[in-house]
Structure 1
Amino acid sequence: MLQAVLLDISGVLCDGDQPIPGAREAVRTLQDNGYPLRLVTNTSRQGRAALHRQLTGMGFAVAPEQLFTAPQAVLRHVRAAGLHPYCLIHPELEAEFAGLLDAAEPDAVVLGDAELRFDYAHLDRAFQLLIQGAPLIAMGDNRYFRSQGVLHLDAGPFVRALEYAADTTARVLGKPSADFFASALDDLGVDAGSVLMIGDDVDADVLGAQAAGLQACLVRTGKYRAGDEARAPSASLAADLAEAVARWC
């Protein structure tokens, strides 16, 4: 029996600052039917408060605590481990990471989608720390994201570059990490088998959720590309969020 639902944001609820047709009504249906929700995302170009403002501005009636982001998962880990990281992150995340910036002697590297900060100087600073033994902690390893109908580089290619250069392996705490899904489930207080993940990314959303024991539905919006469903044959497939909700809930 389905007890809760996880929804990806970009590509499922919206494309850039435009809601995907039927998505607002689908979220409202889930809420009216009493399903606990978490909107889960690897987005690391903006903090949770800004993301919440964006969603409410598009007409989604969601509470801040219903958002669960990869930067939040990284913050939890870093604080619990007592780390003092070098943060290669987007300027919009600096407020969330206040108190962790400008460490005198960094003992870890935290990497998100830093956008224009992915230049030689910043990447080389991260590399120097990694070859001295600092762990690499990533908010996600997505290859690309979709905005306003165009695909753009995400953090994943830069995670791979640093892994290759420093001969290390990143600890990824965003989707598709099992740690990320476990944290979201802990937030909801439910078991994995009773939760449905709806997403447009076959790797991060669908295969990641299934590996963590969740049910999954792939929607043909956002970054979905023809043939993705063949890589996750046991997942449900829907045209969009509205169809997925009508079918499952």
Structure 2
Amino acid sequence: MIKAILFDLSGVLYEGSHPIEGAAKTINRLEHGGLILRFITNTSRKTKQQVLDELHNMGFQITGDQLFTAPEAAQQWCIANKLNPYCLVHKNIKPEFTDLEKPPYSAVVIGDAEDDLTYQNLDTAFDILNSGAPLIAIGNNRYYKGEDRLHLDAGPFVKALEYASDQNAIITGKPSKTFFDQVIATTGCNKHEILMIGDDVYGDIEGARKAGITACLVRTGKYQPGDELKLTPPAPLAKDVSEAVNHYLPAL
């Protein structure tokens, strides 16, 4: 029996700045039904508070303790390990790292920095990594769904730095098993009682499977026809978040 559900945000609850039809109603129904809900995102262009504000404006009544963001996890990882990172992150979340980003740099943190992912900045990051500093990635998603089309995410740039520096990045967001395990632990549920719903076959579905929980792929957001067949066994598929919830919790 499912007692807790983990939701990806962009592409599952909303696309761009618009909620997916029926998503807010479904989430509110689950809240009143006593389900434990967690919302996890690799979104690296917004602070946690910005994400919460946008969700509230779209009709989702989500609290701060239900939301887990990869940038926050990266920040906490640096604090716990006493690192001063060189930050290739989006200008919106740059202030979150201000107190940490001080030379001499002892790490590199990379996220979707948009136009700041220049050759010069990547080369500076490479120089720091080449001295033995660790590479910390807010996520390694390949692409994300914007208002108009799919766009490159941080993943390709993470791979470039991994390749050049001959090291593996520490991933603080999805699909990191550590990230999933941290969220799972807050539910107080056994793994067989937890469901993940996402639109990214690798970051959401494969990541959840490796963490030992059930996962369902939705045909919204970044989903591309045939994505479900990229995993073995194929990922369970639903039209949208409402259909996924109705399938796994038909009595609610």
Report the TM-score range of the alignment, normalised by the length of the smaller protein: over 0.9
C-alpha displacement of 1:49: 0.3
Contact 2:108–2:125, Cα closer than 8 Å, also in 1? yes
User: Take 2:80 and 2:103, find their aligned partners in 1: how far apart are those partners?
Assistant: 19
Quote the residue 1:77 is aligned against. Answer: 77
Quote the residue 2:8 is aligned against. Answer: 8
Q: Deviations over 1:105-127 (max 9, x none)?
A: 11111111111110122111100
SS of alignment partner, residue 140 of structure 1: coil
TM-score normalised by L of structure 1: 0.96
Quote the residue 2:56 is aligned against. Answer: 56
Contact 2:229–2:235, Cα closer than 8 Å, also in 1? no
SS of alignment partner, residue 30 of structure 2: helix
- Give the stretch that moved more between structures: 8-17 or 159-168: 159-168
C-alpha displacement of 1:47: 0.6
Quote the residue 1:30 is aligned against. Answer: 30
Unaligned runs of 5+ residues in structure 1 are none
Contact 1:73–1:183, Cα closer than 8 Å, also in 2? no
User: Take 1:65 and 1:91, find their aligned partners in 2: how far apart are those partners?
Assistant: 24
Unaligned runs of 5+ residues in structure 2 are none
Contact 1:18–1:58, Cα closer than 8 Å, also in 2? yes
User: Take 2:27 and 2:148, find their aligned partners in 1: how far apart are those partners?
Assistant: 22
Residue type of the alignment partner of 2:11: G
Identical counterparts, % of pairs: 49
C-alpha displacement of 1:234: 5.2
SS of alignment partner, residue 225 of structure 1: coil
Superposition misfits of 4+ residues, deviation over 4 angstroms: none
C-alpha displacement of 1:149: 3.8
Contact 2:46–2:93, Cα closer than 8 Å, also in 1? yes
SS of alignment partner, residue 95 of structure 1: helix
Quote the residue 1:106 is aligned against. Answer: 105
User: Take 2:154 and 2:238, find their aligned partners in 1: how far apart are those partners?
Assistant: 27
Quote the residue 2:197 is aligned against. Answer: 198
C-alpha displacement of 1:188: 2.5
Residue type of the alignment partner of 1:240: D
Q: Over aligned residues, Cα RMSD in angstroms?
A: 1.2
Residue type of the alignment partner of 1:31: E
Quote the residue 1:153 is aligned against. Answer: 152
SS of alignment partner, residue 137 of structure 1: strand
C-alpha displacement of 1:98: 3.2
C-alpha displacement of 1:97: 2.0
